[in-house]
Amino acid sequence: MDGMVCVKCGKTARPAKLRFQGQQIDGWKCKCGESYFDPEQAQRILLLNRIRKEAFRVKVGKVRSNLIVRIPKKVAEALQLKDGEEVTLRVEGDQEITIVTG
């Protein structure tokens, strides 16, 4: 991520870690104070914030002796999950499961 030309002053904005809706993302910051967010990372944060407000009903299936849960496409996209990727599953309560990526 190289520098970019600042639209406000015309100088070169330098790579920086910026806060966007409570999350740290890559971007550029100019000496004049103008900030520019990485558009792909900002879009992902917007999508995550949108799906956090939703509840997803999913079906439990079975493959051989294992039960499986299908993850909706927009959740997989927002979390950048890929086929075959490993995640961590934790039992949090009597009927609550948490899946942690990365």
Task: Indicate the pTM of the whole model.
Answer: 0.66
Task: Tell me the residue range of the domain where 83 lies.
Answer: 60-100
Q: Based on the domain organization, do 48 and 67 belong to the same domain?
A: no
Q: Based on the domain organization, do 13 and 48 belong to the same domain?
A: yes
What pLDDT is recorded for position 46? 92
Please tell me the total number of residues recorded for the chain in this structure.
Answer: 102
Phi/psi class of residue 21: alpha, beta or left (left: φ > 0; alpha: ψ in -120 to 50)? left
Q: Based on the domain organization, do 45 and 12 belong to the same domain?
A: yes
Residues 90 and 96: beta-carbon distance below 8 Å: no
Q: How much of the chain is in helix, strand and coil states, percent to nearest 5? A: 20, 40, 40
Residues 24 and 17: beta-carbon distance below 8 Å: yes
70: which DSSP letter? Answer: P
Instruction: Write the pLDDT tens digit of every residue in 39-86.
Output: 999 998 999 899 988 999 999 999 999 999 999 998 998 888 999 999
Task: Choose between 82 and 1: higher pLDDT.
Answer: 82
